Copies of this chain bind each other. A is one copy, B any other.
């Protein structure tokens, strides 16, 4: 099998990082609020450091938790990463001009 491309490796990494935190609790397919906080703290430290609202993790959870079960599944998580990437790309572009 050919080596994965950069983008394929990215998709695998997002799944791997999600599982690393979700698998710590009893429900291996979902992040609890605490697991999400841990993930953000260790995997997106720059993002978390720039957030001043102490309720940021609660807010992300309630914004992204489409099915309102107070857990975040992979699909909701990857939607959050996509949204954050889109914000970064907009900032990149603004800095260029």
Q: Is A15 an interface residue (CB 8 A)?
A: yes
Q: How many copies does the complex hold?
A: 2
Which bucket holds chain A's interface residue count? Answer: 20 to 34
Q: What string of 1s and 0s marks CB contacts (under 8 Å) between A22-49 and chain B?
A: 0000000100000000000011111000
Interface of A is mostly: helix
| A18 nearest in chain B by CB position | B89
Residues of chain B lying within 8 A (CB to CB) of residue A8:
43-44, 46
Q: Is A53 an interface residue (CB 8 A)?
A: no
Q: Which 10 pairs between the two chains have the least Cβ-Cβ distance?
A: A82-B82, A75-B86, A7-B43, A78-B82, A10-B10, A11-B85, A74-B89, A5-B43, A78-B85, A15-B89
